[in-house]
A and B are shown apart, each in its own frame.
Chain A
Amino acid sequence: MHLTIKRTWCKSKMPLSTSLATIADLSVAKESKLLCVVPSTIDVLNTAADLAHRAGWHVIGSREFIAPSHALASKLLTPAEFLNLCRMSNAARQVHRSVVLSDQLVSPVHAPLFVAQGDRSVFCSSLEVIAATQLGFSLSFLNDLSFEPFTISPPMQPREILGRILQYYQYCDSLGDTWLLRDQQVQRTEEYRFDAARRRLRLYQSVVMLSASDDREMQLQLPLLEQLTKLHRGLLRNDSP
């Protein structure tokens, strides 16, 4: 899904974008490593696009959700690209100020951590935890309606960070119709992940079988088919009540 968004940030006086811009200014002054966790709304995306074009700023999200025509598209980094950049010794000095659209990180690749809080459990992204615990980033969350950023600095415990991320999801939910990624959050749920994995495994099994032209070729691919079949059976067992 691509979101087609008009570039209207310069006209916008929405508090979210103002808040994000304020963080940007503060961060420049402090020269500290900062990762701002923000929701995908039209005004925030437009402000993020503007920041991404400034020197030393990086914006992280998923290309799946940004239209190729949007100003952010050419500058958006995936979590893997961002971490690679941080780990390159020369570039690391350049990576101080970043914005992550964590609500876009819903896929199993981006959100592998299964987190439970009370009777709620969802898959969360790991980028924020890695950035804070291994790369020395402070995290700044826009996670309440007062639009005051909440910043936590190292040393931080992964559970503390994940707790903040869950609060951030709740905050996103409170944004109503302005939150563009609401429908995608189902991908964080256990039920969706199991169903999607089963469908994908069946696709892989189908491709393997479709590709074998005869018994001899199939005999050679049998270990792969057996492995995929076993994985599928495992998902059925995991899911059973």
Chain B
Amino acid sequence: MMAMVLRLLLLAMYPLRSSTRRWKLMERFLHLNLSPDKARSVELACTASGKPLGAYYFWKVSQALQFMALRHLNEQSALQLISNLDVTDYDKFGAVTNSNRGCLLAIPHHGPFCFSIVALVERLRHKRPVLVFYNSPEEHASNGIFDDLYLRLYRDSSTGVTIAHNSRAGIAMASKHLKAGSFVVIMPDVYARQEDTYQLPFLGRSRNVMLGTASLARHCSASILPLSADLCGDGVRFRTRFGALIEPASSIARTRVGGQAWDLWSDYRTTLTMFRSLGELMREQLFQWQYCDSHYLSDLAPPSLRFEELTQLLDLLPKDPRVQVSSHSPIVVE
């Protein structure tokens, strides 16, 4: 019934999909708060996916209706709705579920990702325990909606699902689950402090990323499955798309000297592979990414230098005065 209502409501919005101009009234109605720079970034994301700006508005209307439905439905009705709207081909997913190893399901804030997560959890939780890991709503305000949904659905531990927020205790719990062969759902495209991130090329720009997903996988000898949720053309149904399974670089290759740096390189390389895969999965519907309004404001992708060029920088980079900060022993002036 709810699926039908959503379908009818969105049917009325179909003409919006082909609009090429900005609709300030629509933006106000949807609380989009698009500054001129952000609007430009969204337009570039639409262009990169070969869609007009209206596709972004249509997606946002659909998202608002989904969230409204989830707020008003009870647990069983919400699960029924998600099941009815899911048109995912799960054949590729079978191989992952049949393995006994721990696996990180890396899903970005793209499309109806909370629907995808629930659909996956419902398929997996009867086979092995699942942990859903994300930043608490206090740290990441937009997580409030699915935090509420997951807690309603999986508060009871007998469901086989655990909710863990990104904290020291949450990371320890995720590590324990992975080592025991469980699934951990993680959202790798988010960070709290830029100072803690590394940069890599992503969809034509530089993206700040945390290496936590790769580091967890390496520590727990778990694999990573990149996946992404896409809203279908009707604005109601959704499809989860899967990338190839990633095996983290092994720590066996650690050298005695520079072990930490080698682990860093391993995690960076794994993260690079994961984001390449996510980029491929998201490319067709980039405007459905939560960060599409800022991604194209970022710098161009960081440079990849030739080996000889890098060798020349060996002495220079660590001596750059911009990375040498010392506030010890200030010159005291009366």
A25-62 near B? 1/0 per residue, CB < 8 Å: 00000000000000000000000000000000000000
> Could you tell me if B197 and A222 are in contact, using CB atoms closer than 8 angstroms?
no
* Bound complex: CA A112 to CA B321 (Å): 8
- The answer, yes or no, to whether B310 is at the interface (CB within 8 Å) is yes
Contacts of B304 in A (CB 8 A): 207, 210-211
- The answer, yes or no, to whether B260 is at the interface (CB within 8 Å) is yes
> Could you tell me if A229 and B261 are in contact, using CB atoms closer than 8 angstroms?
yes
> Could you tell me if B302 and A203 are in contact, using CB atoms closer than 8 angstroms?
yes
Contacts of B307 in A (CB 8 A): 211-212, 217, 220
> Could you tell me if A194 and B325 are in contact, using CB atoms closer than 8 angstroms?
yes
- The answer, yes or no, to whether B8 is at the interface (CB within 8 Å) is no
Pick the residue among A114, A210, A222 that contacts B302 (CB under 8 A): A210
> Could you tell me if B197 and A229 are in contact, using CB atoms closer than 8 angstroms?
no
Of all chain B residues, the one with the shortest Cβ separation from A204 is B317
> Could you tell me if A116 and B313 are in contact, using CB atoms closer than 8 angstroms?
no
> Could you tell me if B322 and A107 are in contact, using CB atoms closer than 8 angstroms?
yes
> Could you tell me if A190 and B258 are in contact, using CB atoms closer than 8 angstroms?
no
- The answer, yes or no, to whether B201 is at the interface (CB within 8 Å) is yes
> Could you tell me if B268 and A224 are in contact, using CB atoms closer than 8 angstroms?
no
Q: How far is the CB of B66 from chain A (nearest CB, A)?
A: 36
Of all chain B residues, the one with the shortest Cβ separation from A162 is B333
Q: Chain A contact residues: over half helix, strand or loop, or mixed?
A: helix
Given contacts A116-B332, A198-B195, A211-B310, contact A190 B327 (CB under 8 A): yes
- The answer, yes or no, to whether A208 is at the interface (CB within 8 Å) is yes
Of all chain B residues, the one with the shortest Cβ separation from A210 is B304
Contacts of A206 in B (CB 8 A): 198-200, 268, 302
> Could you tell me if A197 and B200 are in contact, using CB atoms closer than 8 angstroms?
no
- The answer, yes or no, to whether B255 is at the interface (CB within 8 Å) is yes
- The answer, yes or no, to whether B179 is at the interface (CB within 8 Å) is no
Of all chain B residues, the one with the shortest Cβ separation from A209 is B268
> Could you tell me if B331 and A115 are in contact, using CB atoms closer than 8 angstroms?
yes
Q: Which of A195-229 contact B (CB under 8 A)?
A: 195-212, 215, 217-229
Q: How far is the CB of B222 from chain A (nearest CB, A)?
A: 21
- The answer, yes or no, to whether B269 is at the interface (CB within 8 Å) is yes
- The answer, yes or no, to whether A146 is at the interface (CB within 8 Å) is no
* Bound complex: CA A105 to CA B80 (Å): 63
> Could you tell me if A197 and B310 are in contact, using CB atoms closer than 8 angstroms?
no
Of all chain A residues, the one with the shortest Cβ separation from B320 is A200
Q: How far is the CB of B309 from chain A (nearest CB, A)?
A: 8
> Could you tell me if B195 and A195 are in contact, using CB atoms closer than 8 angstroms?
yes
> Could you tell me if A228 and B265 are in contact, using CB atoms closer than 8 angstroms?
no
* Bound complex: CA A131 to CA B330 (Å): 21
* Bound complex: CA A151 to CA B179 (Å): 71
- The answer, yes or no, to whether A1 is at the interface (CB within 8 Å) is no
> Could you tell me if A109 and B322 are in contact, using CB atoms closer than 8 angstroms?
yes
Pick the residue among A113, A194, A221 that contacts B331 (CB under 8 A): A113
* Bound complex: CA A115 to CA B197 (Å): 30
Of all chain B residues, the one with the shortest Cβ separation from A235 is B325
- The answer, yes or no, to whether B1 is at the interface (CB within 8 Å) is no
Q: How far is the CB of B276 from chain A (nearest CB, A)?
A: 12
Pick the residue among B255, B268, B321 that contacts A222 (CB under 8 A): B255
Contacts of B253 in A (CB 8 A): 215
* Bound complex: CA A218 to CA B196 (Å): 22
- The answer, yes or no, to whether B35 is at the interface (CB within 8 Å) is no
Residues of chain B touching chain A, judged by Cβ–Cβ distance below 8 Å, are 194-201, 253, 255, 257-258, 260-262, 264-265, 268-269, 272, 302-307, 309-311, 313-314, 317-318, 320-328, 330-334
Other A-B contacts than A121-B327, A238-B326, 20 sampled, CB-CB below 8 A, are: A108-B321, A108-B322, A109-B322, A113-B331, A115-B333, A190-B325, A197-B322, A199-B195, A206-B199, A207-B303, A208-B317, A209-B198, A210-B304, A217-B307, A222-B261, A225-B265, A227-B317, A227-B318, A231-B323, A238-B325
30 contacts between A and B (CB under 8 A): A114-B330, A114-B331, A115-B331, A115-B332, A116-B331, A162-B331, A166-B333, A190-B327, A193-B325, A197-B325, A198-B195, A199-B194, A200-B323, A202-B196, A202-B198, A203-B199, A203-B302, A208-B310, A208-B317, A210-B302, A210-B303, A211-B305, A211-B307, A217-B307, A220-B307, A220-B311, A221-B310, A223-B258, A228-B317, A238-B327
Top 3 A-B pairs ranked by shortest CB distance? A116-B330, A198-B195, A226-B261
